[in-house]
Each structure stands twice: as structure tokens, then as C-alpha cells.
Amino acid sequence: MKDWIFTLLCAVLGAYFDEEGCDVENWIKFDKNGLKNDLETKLYGQHVAAEVILKTVTGFMENKNPKKPLVLSLHGWTGTGKTFVSQLIAENIYKKKMKSSFVHLFSVTTHFPHKAHIDKYKTQLQEWIRGNVSICPRSMFIFDGMDKMPLELIDSIKPYLDFSDNLDGVSYRQAIFIFLSNAGGKMINDVTMKFWRDGKEREEIQLKDLETVLSQSVFNNEDSGFWHTSLIDRHLVDFFVPFLPLEYKHVIQCGLGEMARQGFTPDNNVVKRMTDDLIFFPEEERVFSLQGCKLIPNKLRFYIP
């Protein structure tokens, strides 16, 4: 009886103060069409990632009884849209978007900088995940710079990613984990470049063309502890999602979009001048952008008269 009164009181007070709650009626409503539309119109040049993300996130969100949390690992060169896509996912699930108290963003190098403090980080991270999932099962955890995450720390979150009814009375099956890294980026670039050299359309590239090289390259990468853990062996990651290097035309699209976002009328000449000053590879043919679209928000202003 007491519990019931407490819950009611929280709901009334929460509604009164417009405080975010863990409920599907008001705060956590998955917008499938919104995500589809965002991936189609705001994300450029990532047909493989867009399809995998839409299918897996939709499937997971529409599944009333998932057997394990959704775990996605996004890979690719810098500035190709990995962080951007994780924001689009959050925006179409949580009304408060990235500001939601149910979305947790960790930057590995910022949050876990010192090897000597690893035991403290382990405890804090586990408590953070457990505490937050017990408050709201539909919580989202984004780990940026996963290739720099110490092995022990990855080990410490493995139980939460696995199939399990519950751990210490908490069920993690509704949670979403997204790992971001540059690991495998070089391999993805090589495959994309080979398609281009062979005169094939970029859109012909399929997930299977990249999956094998991606898993081979990450398995063979001695530097990144991430790959040597049982995350892969035990299939805890549902999908490895490749992000292709962006071409000249995608950078132009980013520039025009960014101009509008900054309150200017999109101007092809301005964006073209800016893009021409960026570095592309291979050096001679200038096909793929070395920094993706990363520098655009800051560079653009310089080119606007």
C-alpha cells in the first residue's frame, strides 16, 4: 500500500515539475519513422550503417521481451558520423534527447585516464550501470574511444551485456550499449577504396564485404585490448557497424547542412571553397576526406563573406 502511494506521489510531483520519468507514455517513446527519416536525410554516405542501425534498433525497441541488451559497436575513420549516429538514436528514443538522464556518455580517455585507478573505475562503472538500469531499464550507455578502454574495465561490464535474467535483482535486457571506436577504420577505407578503383558504385558495398575484414583486422590488432576479450568470442556484440570514409560530395552535403544549422543561407560556392582546402586521399585523385566532416562546424565561418 505504502509503495503504491509513493509511486503515485512521485508521478504527480514529477508531472508537476515536468521531471523526466522512465515511462513510455511521456518520456521514452521510440519514433521509428523519425529514426528512418533522420538516417535517410541527415546522415550522408553511410548506406551500410544506416540500414543496420535502423533494423537492429527498430527490432530491439519493438521486441517486448528481448533476451539480452542491444550491443552495437560502431567502427570507422574519424569524422564519418559515429558519434552523430549515436545522437540520432538517442533523439528518437528519449524525449529529452542527449540531455535525458537515461542516456550516459563515457569518453574513455576522459573518464578513465589513469591505469593506476582501474579498480576504482571498475567499481564506479559497475555501480553506475547497475544503479541507473535499476532506476530505468531503458537506459542507454555510449562508450566513446572503446579501442582505448583497458581490458579489465571491459571485463567488468561484460556481465551486463550478456543473456541473463537478472543480476542482483536487476534486469539489463532493455538497455542499449553503443561502443564507438576507430578500430578497423583503415581496413574499411581500404575496402571502400578498392570498390572505387574497380569502378564499382559505393552503394554496392554490403555489410558482408566489410564484416570479415573488420573482424580479421580487429582480431589481429595487438594494440587494442578490446578485441582480445570475450566480447567477440561470446558474441556479446550484436553488430559491428562499419562507417565508410566520406567522399567530396558528402563533405559538400555536410557543409550545406552546417551552414543552415548556423543560421546562414546554404551557399554552394562557400562550401566548395572550404571543401577544396581540406585534405583528401589518395593524394592525386582526392576522393576521400581525411577528416570526414569533423572540421566543418569550426572551419565554415572562415569562408563565409
Question: Known binding site for ATP: residues?
Answer: 76-83
Binding residues: 76-83
How many Å apart are CA 225 and CA 154, to the nearest integer? 9
What's the N-to-C CA distance of the chain in angstroms? Answer: 67
CB of 52 to ligand ATP, least distance (A): 14
CB of 140 to Mg ion, least distance (A): 16
How many Å apart are CA 162 and CA 69, to the nearest integer? 7
Binding site partner of 44, from Mg ion, ligand ATP, none, Cβ cut-off 5-8 A by kind: ligand ATP
Neighbours of 236 (CB within 10 A): 22
Binding site partner of 226, from ligand ATP, Mg ion, none, Cβ cut-off 5-8 A by kind: none
Residue 242 in the binding site for ligand ATP (CB under 6 A):
no
**Of all helices (H) and strands (E), which one includes residue 153?**
helix 151-161
Residue of 103, 82, 107, 123 whose CA lies nearest to 27: 103
Q: Which of 34, 36, 58, 83 binds Mg ion (CB under 5 A)?
A: 83
Classify 48 as helix, strand or coil. Answer: helix
Residue 303 in the binding site for ligand ATP (CB under 6 A):
no
For residues 30 to 69, the per-residue mask of contacts with Mg ion, x marking binding by CB under 5 A and - elsewhere, is ----------------------------------------
Q: In Å, what is the CA distance from 98 to each residue of 87, 172, 178, 179, 253?
A: 7, 20, 14, 16, 24
Residue 215 in the binding site for Mg ion (CB under 5 A):
no
Q: Which of 56, 174, 182, 192 binds ligand ATP (CB under 6 A)?
A: 182
- Tell me which residues in 66-95 interact with ligand ATP (CB under 6 A): 76, 78-84
- Residue 48, C-beta contacts closer than 8 angstroms, at least 6 positions apart: 205, 206, 207, 210, 241, 242, 244
Residue 192 in the binding site for ligand ATP (CB under 6 A):
no
For residues 25 to 64, the per-residue mask of contacts with ligand ATP, x marking binding by CB under 6 A and - elsewhere, is ------------------xxxx------------------
- Tell me which residues in 246-265 interact with ligand ATP (CB under 6 A): 246, 254
Cβ-count burial 6-34 (b if 16+ within 10 Å, e if not): eeeeeeeeeeeeeebbeeeeebbebeeee
Specify the amino acid at residue 164: S
How many Å apart are CA 288 and CA 295, to the nearest integer? 14
CB of 242 to ligand ATP, least distance (A): 11
Residue 221 in the binding site for Mg ion (CB under 5 A):
no
# chain residues binding Mg ion, by CB under 5 A = 2
List of residues contacting Mg ion (CB under 5 A) = 82-83
